[in-house]
Amino acid sequence: MTSRREALRRLGLAGAAAILPRQLWALPLSSPLRINGERLNATLTKLSEFGRNPQGGVTRLAYSEADLHAREWTMSLVREAGLRTEIDAAGNIVGRRTGTDASRKPIVFGSHIDSVPEGGNYDGDLGSLAAIEVARTIEEHHVDTRHPLEVVIFQNEEGGVVGSRAWSGDLSEQDLANVTRSGKTIREGIAILGGDVSRLASVRRTPGAIAAYLELHIEQGAVLQETDTDIGVVTGIVGLNWWEVTIDGFANHAGTTPMDRRRDAMIAAAKFTLMVNRVVTSRPGRQVGTVGRIAAFPGAPNVIPGKVVLSLELRDLDAAVIASLYDEIVENAKKIGRENGTTFIFKATNANRPAPTDERLRVAIEASARELGLSTRRLPSGAGHDAQEMAHIGPAGMIFVPSVGGISHAPNEFTKPKDCVNGTNVLLQTVLRVDAELP
């Protein structure tokens, strides 16, 4: 492999210290190394078998049977890539490769393989399999990197970036008690995956403990496709907060209770859902808000619902915007409660902090894409990612590839095989560039 020093000498730039860091990260690196695209796409097809549903996507909820089987297969792939493989105390799959300089912190890259209910075959899968393919390519070509390399498949990304929060130290006792979509608590889930909650502190990485974190992911929106761009360079990842909202009314006979004597929790829930939409859309900005789940109790056609439990989710790049939207929603909920004799209780169930990506990594990704003849565009991520937790530990960067039709968290999520290959080659080149260029 061409070393950074050689590349600089060729360019007559041996006095690299005189170059501004931003310029340094953008210099040509020209590694001829490429990933095996056919192999990458074959592994994507194979992974899609675990938890496959009739619509063509997957339901691979964290801690489910499908998740466990997929993880087992993925671990064998990490081993085949020549990495020392373990399940850490938080239940994440980690594969390690030694660097030539023992004093250096690892370059970490990876993603997740759990899915939402009725999800697709690319969200998380691509970044995970790409990370393994990159490590395998480096191993097969006997490339020595100065930094140790770590491939990580984080557990339960879809339930609130759980595995990466264990690394950043942001997973509380209360989080461990939360029940996930598979019906298990996170504490139970970690044990099921082969982790050990009593040793959770051992996976924690203090700020500065990694040289860099890189994640390839599908865009999950339509910007890249609509602008005919090959590679997205993520500028920042939104913060995301979840609440469980319980609305208490009074269950009563649906035939004999006059309409003006009801304390109907379902009516309050309907008004609440519309109000959330109004509050979120009534100010400028890219903030979003969703009521995505609802359950009415006791849940019979002939009983007025006495209780409704629903979810509220708010996202923005600025945590202060989320906090102020929440305050406005709570105030408005009180008003709805007063109008129809119901009460609202809000319980916070998840909070992921917004995070900007690292400018040097953005530049490195852009330079890597340019050398591969690929176009780039900078854009924020409206989806949550493990990278946002990793950004609290060290520099984090994200590479996006186009999602056809901008569809994601749905069975027909699709990214073209050539885009999967492009993104993985950009990941490979960026890992090598960061390895060569970090001072």
What residue ranges bind ligand GLV (CB under 6 A)? 158, 383-384
Question: To the nearest whole angstrom, how small is the minimum distance from the Cβ of residue 385 to ligand GLV?
Answer: 7
Shortest distance, position 122 Cβ to ligand GLV, whole Å? 11
Paired strand residues for 348: 243
Q: Which does 397 bind (CB under 5 to 8 A by kind): Mn ion, ligand GLV, none?
A: none
Nearer to ligand GLV by C-beta: 69 or 409? 409
Q: Which of residues 244 and 359 has its CB atom nearest to ligand GLV in the complex? A: 244
Longest dimension (CA), the chain: 89
Taking CA 235 as the corner, what is the angle to CA 286 and CA 47, rounded to the nearest 5 degrees? 95
Q: How far apart are CA 316 and CA 177, in angstroms?
A: 26
Nearer of residues 70 and 333 to Mn ion, judged by Cβ: 70
Structure tokens at 256: 């004999």
Residue 158 vs 175, nearer CB to ligand GLV: 158
Partner interacting with residue 221 (select from ligand GLV, Mn ion, none; CB below 5-8 Å by kind): none
Nearer to Mn ion, 61 or 428 (CB): 61
Q: Closest separation between CB of residue 204 and ligand GLV, Å?
A: 23
Binding string, residues 74-113; x marks residues near Mn ion by CB under 5 A: ----------------------------------------
3-state secondary structure string, 370-397? HHCCCCEEEEEECCCCHHHHHCCCCCEE
Which sign does the torsion angle of CA 327, 333, 339, 344 carry? negative
Site string for Mn ion, 361-400 (x = CB under 5 A): ----------------------------------------
Query: Whole-number minimum distance, CB 408 to Mn ion, in Å?
Result: 7
Q: Please, are residues 253 and 302 in contact by the beta-carbon 8 Å criterion?
A: yes
d(CA 208, CA 228): 37
| Smallest gap from residue 239 Cβ to ligand GLV (A) | 11
Is 219 an interacting residue with respect to Mn ion (CB under 5 A)? no
Write the interaction track for Mn ion spanning residues 120-139; mark x where CB under 5 A is met and - where it is not. Answer: ---xx---------------
Please, which residues bridge with residue 377 across strands? 232
The smaller minimum CB distance to Mn ion, of residues 67 and 123, is found at: 123
Q: How far is the CB of 144 from Mn ion (least distance, A)?
A: 32
Of 306 and 402, CB closest to ligand GLV = 402
Shortest Cβ 352–Mn ion spacing (Å):
12
CB-based burial of residue 142 (10 Å sphere; 0-12 exposed, 13-18 middle, 19+ buried)? exposed
Query: Which CA distances in Å does 132 have to 47, 81, 94, 105, 135?
Result: 13, 7, 10, 19, 5
Residue number, 337 or 384, with CB nearest to ligand GLV: 384
Encoded tokens for 62: 């964290």
DSSP 72-101: HHHHHHHHHTT-EEEE-TTS-EEEEE--S-
The enclosing H or E element of 233 equals: strand 231-237
Query: Which CB atom, from 86 or from 118, has the smaller least distance to ligand GLV?
Result: 118
Residue 354 binds which one of ligand GLV, Mn ion, none, with CB within 5 to 8 A depending on kind? Answer: none
Instruction: Work out how close the CB of 158 gets to ligand GLV at its nearest, in angstroms, rounded to a whole number.
Output: 6
Q: State which residue, 70 or 438, has the beta carbon closest to ligand GLV.
A: 70
Ramachandran sector of residue 76 (left: φ over 0; alpha: ψ -120 to 50; beta: rest)? alpha
CB of 24 to Mn ion, least distance (A): 31
Angle at 66 (CA atoms; ends 65, 69), nearest 5 degrees = 85
384 binds, among Mn ion, ligand GLV, none (CB under 5 to 8 A by kind): ligand GLV
Rg for the chain, CA atoms, rounded = 24
At its nearest, how many Å lie between ligand GLV and the CB of residue 156? 11
Q: Taking Cα atoms as reference points, which of 107, 163, 154 lies closest to residue 135?
A: 107
Q: Are 63 and 44 in contact (CB under 8 A)?
A: no
**Residue closest to ligand GLV when measured from CB atoms:** 383
Applying CB under 5 A, the site for Mn ion has a residue count of 2
Chain residues that interact with Mn ion, rule: CB under 5 A: 123-124
